[in-house]
A and B are shown apart, each in its own frame.
Chain A
Amino acid sequence: MNSNKSNDTDISRTSTSTSIGAATASTKASSNDFVRKLFGILERGEYSDIVRWTESGDSFVVLDTGKFTTQILPNHFKHSNFASFVRQLNKYDFHKVKKTPEERQTSQYGELSWEFKHPFFTRHNEEALDNIKRKTTVQRKILLDENAIVLQSNDQQGLQDKSTVNLILSNTVTREKFNSLKRKVERLQKDLDFAKEERYAAKLEFQKLNAKYNTIVESFLTFKNVNDGLINNFNQLCSMLSSRGFDLPQNFYDQIDVGNNLNKTVNIDQKLAKPYDLSNANAMVPGTLQNTPDAEATNLSLPLQDVTAKPVPEVESDGQSALTDGFHVLLVEDDAVCIQLCSKFLRKYGCTVEVVTDGLSAISTLEKFRYDLVLMDIVMPNLDGATATSIVRSFDNHTPIIAMTGNIEDQDLITYLQHGMNDILAKPFTKDDLHSMLIRYLRGRVPLSKQQLEKQPQVQTRPQSQAHSELQSQGQTQSQTQSMAQARPPLQSHHSIQSISGSVSQPPSTSVSEGDVKILIEDEPLLKKQRV
């Protein structure tokens, strides 16, 4: 719509000017000297390695802006830099020919070339240059000048012409005004659209931050649990050793004290715990708040409520009833025994299972299909699970990816989380360990296969036995959902999570009640397990 209107104005402007001033080419020549100079350079082809016509001849291209600035501008134009030259071109209604990055790369004039276009600026067509004029503000003045010229040169024809010219002139002026108003309205419309878009983007961004925040809080809880477990183990070990008459160095006890102090500070923090504070929220999500007026303080407190509310029903639920059937799980594992065992457990919980045996196939499978959950071994041939996850995270931020590993040393755990894995299931795990992980990530969710059923009721899926037919039917609708997911801007990198984590470290400890932490600890499979 916009482009149509601007075309209209272009045409009306040029047609009036030609009708008035056909006989005044010589005077006009001076009015677009700049364009003629450029035309001359292009026609003579004296700098063809720097600037030349494109093959079609209806546009010209600057191949090397650097040389253009140093060699051509000082000798032929009064512009001191390329930008001001481009501004001048724009004033004459030249437009840069826009190109996508791919087109740029394949452009025969090089990636850094600038192509400009004007409908009347074509090769070997000097006459058409008359139609090229400076735009808008100057426009009216030029028209008046022309009027004067017309009157002088045609004074023999007298009043008749004068009245016609006046008529045309007054007509032109009102049109000009009209057009400028129209442009203003268009600009406002554009601004409005832009603002709307921005608001929407900000909202999205905010939701994404919320999700990240959730993940971070959860990671912190996991860390805390792991840490507490370690301290517990350590305490047990120390008491066991001392009960057997081993002399422990003093600094061992000091370390235990550190652990106790840590717990104490957490407790104190919990006494201060309050519903999530808006001022904190402001600090956490800088800038986004004003853009999303519907994100009230109540919304901001949601993530924490989620986190704290989550574990409570887990304990109440008797287990299986909480999980719907039909979740589709991708199992990435290279050990045949573990594959059999784990997929058996998963099927027992009503999941359908797809197995791949290394990191590379995991990536290519996740590119094609979506799963409700991914269970990923770490040490695998071809590509390890952590690296595979970080690649998957470049196009899929949503699917929960759980590490399955026997390496549960702190440094390893941190590495896995930094690579974008959501959680860790320590090997060997029991059926219950696996179940609580499924509960944690799938409880209350509708399996993807059933979401598609709602959209496409004609597709029959039988989750228990016919994983393959289901996968195929899923594959068809998959491409749509997948492309939607890809259209979302991917997470920049997982370092961004790290960078936020500094500022987030406080809220979790203040707002998670002691009871919740205890429940989480009880639920934490890592802590029930001795290291193998």
Chain B
Amino acid sequence: MPIPKEIVDWNILNEIVSMDEDDPEFSKGLVIQYFDQAETTFEQMQTNLEGAGDLKSLANLGHFLKGSSAALGLQRIAWVCERIQNLGRKKENRFPGKEYLVYQSPVEMPKPGDYVDTRIPNSQDDSFYLKLICEALEQARYEFSLARKELSAYYGAEL
């Protein structure tokens, strides 16, 4: 599945916003909590990449953030997190170039199969995947800034 075109899946977020009826600020509080959590997770990934370089923990961090991102409908971040998860598990061995990943990119996203290049042997050592995760993390932070901008605009406050 290519990266989603829209930052927010409003079908999902609207449902959460509708819960504000009997609990004002519920959705906003949740979004703020998510932003804190995402930043913490990014820091943990960064520390891991610069230090231990443990693919398994990176995959778990990716999985973790994928869950809460998707729960709020932040589908582009969730997508990047899934790449990190799969790279950490060595299930994918490519990360698409920036030209495909820019917001509202005019370039058609490659097919899902292109994330796995069968010519690259499985025996690649960890540093190969760590480098790709570095790229993915950069992309995730970019997506995060987009999401923060969009949601700040939506709530009319700096989040």
Known: A336-B33, A348-B19. A532 touches B26 (CB 8 A): no
Would you give the shortest CB distance from A231 to chain B, in whole angstroms? 17
Would you give the shortest CB distance from B11 to chain A, in whole angstroms? 8
CB of A406 within 8 A of CB of B73, answer no
Contact with B along A320-350 (1 / 0, CB 8 A): 0000000000000011111011001100100
Would you give the shortest CB distance from A277 to chain B, in whole angstroms? 45
**Inside 8 A of B37's CB, which chain A residues have their CB?**
335-337
CB of A428 within 8 A of CB of B73, answer yes
Chain A residues touching B, range: 20 to 34
Known: A337-B33, A338-B71, A532-B79. A428 touches B12 (CB 8 A): yes
Q: How far is the CA of A379 from the CA of B59 in the complex (A)?
A: 11
- Among A337, A348, A530, A531, chain B packs the most CB atoms within 10 A around the CB of A337
Residue of B nearest to A341 (CB): B71
A431 interface residue per 8 A CB criterion: yes
Majority DSSP secondary structure for residues of B touching A: helix
Looking at the complex, which one of B1, B12, B68 makes contact with A430 (CB distance below 8 Å)?
A: B12
Q: How far is the CA of A510 from the CA of B12 in the complex (A)?
A: 38
A393 interface residue per 8 A CB criterion: no
A427 interface residue per 8 A CB criterion: yes
CB of B72 within 8 A of CB of A337, answer yes
Would you give the shortest CB distance from B111 to chain A, in whole angstroms? 8
**Inside 8 A of B68's CB, which chain A residues have their CB?**
335-338
Contact with A along B1-16 (1 / 0, CB 8 A): 1000000000110011
Chain B residues touching A, range: 20 to 34
Would you give the shortest CB distance from B156 to chain A, in whole angstroms? 22
CB of A428 within 8 A of CB of B19, answer no
Q: How far is the CA of A294 from the CA of B93 in the complex (A)?
A: 61
Looking at the complex, which one of A334, A337, A530, A531 makes contact with B71 (CB distance below 8 Å)?
A: A337
Instruction: Return 28 A-B CB contacts under 8 Å, by A number.
Output: A335-B64, A335-B67, A335-B71, A336-B33, A337-B30, A337-B34, A337-B37, A337-B72, A338-B68, A338-B71, A340-B29, A341-B30, A341-B72, A344-B26, A379-B60, A406-B63, A406-B66, A406-B67, A406-B82, A427-B70, A427-B71, A428-B67, A428-B71, A430-B12, A430-B15, A530-B1, A532-B75, A532-B82
Interface residues of B (CB under 8 A from A): 1, 11-12, 15-16, 19, 23, 26, 29-30, 33-34, 37, 60, 63-64, 66-68, 70-73, 75, 78-79, 82
Interface residues of A (CB under 8 A from B): 334-338, 340-341, 344-345, 348, 377, 379, 406, 427-428, 430-431, 530-532
